[in-house]
Homo-oligomer: A and B are copies of this chain.
């Protein structure tokens, strides 16, 4: 069977008190819709349509940044999940022989195993519909799966349960596989016969079952597939669940945590065994950390490659590469486009931006290295500034291997300090410094004796 997915992302999330569509709210820094999309893509379902509705522009904008192609349809009115699927009728009709996985854009924990195995079960059993379910200890509030003789009679909401049905622990995740032909049949039959006057997709199960179609469930062992967020407290809970689950996975892989307070690790982050993560550390985006590196306290590392045996303490680093045996911190900021090579030492109150820093170079304190190409074994004094902006243009600074940049030096770019070049403390360097030369901009030191007595008299 050929498979596609339809993701329902039209909802508003009124209780979020925000203009964002609900699936755009973030869990661990990624919209819930991204979680759902990537679960599909990682299960090799790339033919995807997103039903957008409330603030569709926000969904469009998000999808445009993803790189991966994806169709959308617009649900102009929001009349229930069945109506959302009806909006995609044309898209579905173009795939008549396929099966479609319908997913909720605000239930982020659907996983690859669940998708792949439910798809296989759906195919093997030749079902018209296969509902993805979970068996939970506390089913209260969820739609229960009412079965009879291996067939689903229907999905019954809490308030409509008979006493006997209240004991059912198998609940609906909202995700379900349909043969598209059967789905189209069912869509014609769903009626808004309820107090909300909405079209419920769950009605399709009873419709298909009654019409003699084969129906079934796939019981996921990932209970979290049923979880979504309707308000900020629910969203915080999803974040908390995801946070603990990912930390647990890294613990299993041999990563050391001694206190996880404030620690948050994104889904795509890779951490080698023996790494130690201290409290208050956030790792996000496409970050990887090499073995035996210590990260923390209070680091924020986003989209960075960090090598082995490094020690980063109170560092914020973005979109940069950090080699092996690098020590940094405390209180350091590495801005995008930086390459920090192996053995570099960066001390307190240092900012590096869009620069390459060569092997074993030391930038110990209170220094700004921006738009620069710095060689190996360079020593920066304290208070050095690469003057990269003249009010009109940004210019580069080039510093050769083994150079020594004196304290409080201004390197006025574009400028080049040659290999083993020196600059004297307090100099403003406006011309290139040849290899092995010293640049000094300084006048005579004048001593006024008795100054403090005269000052005090005044």
Contact = CB atoms under 8 A, between A and B. Distances in A.
Contacts of A441: 426, 442-446
Contacts of A305: none
B368 A391 contact: no
A119 interface: no
B236 A260 contact: yes
A216 interface: no
B17 A253 contact: yes
A438 B451 CA distance: 6
A439 interface: yes
Interface stretch (A50-58, A91-99, A136-144, A346-354): A346-354
Contact of A18 (B248, B274, B387): B274
Contacts of A1: none
Contact of A447 (B425, B428, B439): B439
Given A428-B426, A445-B440, A240 B259 contact: yes
A17 to B, nearest CB: 3
A431 interface: yes
Interface in A313-371: 313-314, 316, 330-331, 333, 347-349, 351, 365-366, 368
A282 to B, nearest CB: 7
Contacts of A274: 17-19
A438 B410 contact: no
A425 B239 contact: no
Nearest to A406: B387
Interface residues of A, number: 99
Interface stretch (A40-48, A162-170, A194-202, A376-384): A376-384
A370 B382 CA distance: 10
Interface in A12-36: 16-19, 25-29
A334 B282 CA distance: 24
A126 interface: no
Contacts of A257: 232, 236
A26 B256 CA distance: 10
A298 interface: yes
A351 B350 CA distance: 12
A420 B385 CA distance: 23
A300 interface: yes
Nearest to A232: B251
Contacts of A253: 17
Interface string A249-262: 00111111111111
B379 A391 contact: yes
A408 interface: yes
22 contacts: A27-B258, A232-B254, A232-B257, A236-B258, A243-B259, A258-B264, A264-B279, A280-B298, A331-B331, A366-B383, A366-B385, A381-B387, A382-B385, A385-B425, A422-B452, A426-B426, A426-B428, A428-B445, A437-B448, A438-B448, A440-B445, A441-B442
Given A233-B252, A391-B404, 17 more contacts: A17-B273, A240-B259, A261-B261, A349-B349, A351-B366, A366-B385, A379-B391, A381-B387, A382-B385, A382-B387, A404-B452, A407-B410, A422-B455, A426-B441, A428-B445, A430-B445, A436-B450
Interface of A: 16-19, 25-29, 231-233, 235-236, 239-240, 243, 248, 251-262, 264, 273-274, 279-280, 282, 297-298, 300, 313-314, 316, 330-331, 333, 347-349, 351, 365-366, 368, 379, 381-383, 385, 387, 389, 391-392, 404, 406-408, 410, 412, 420-422, 424-431, 433-434, 436-453, 455
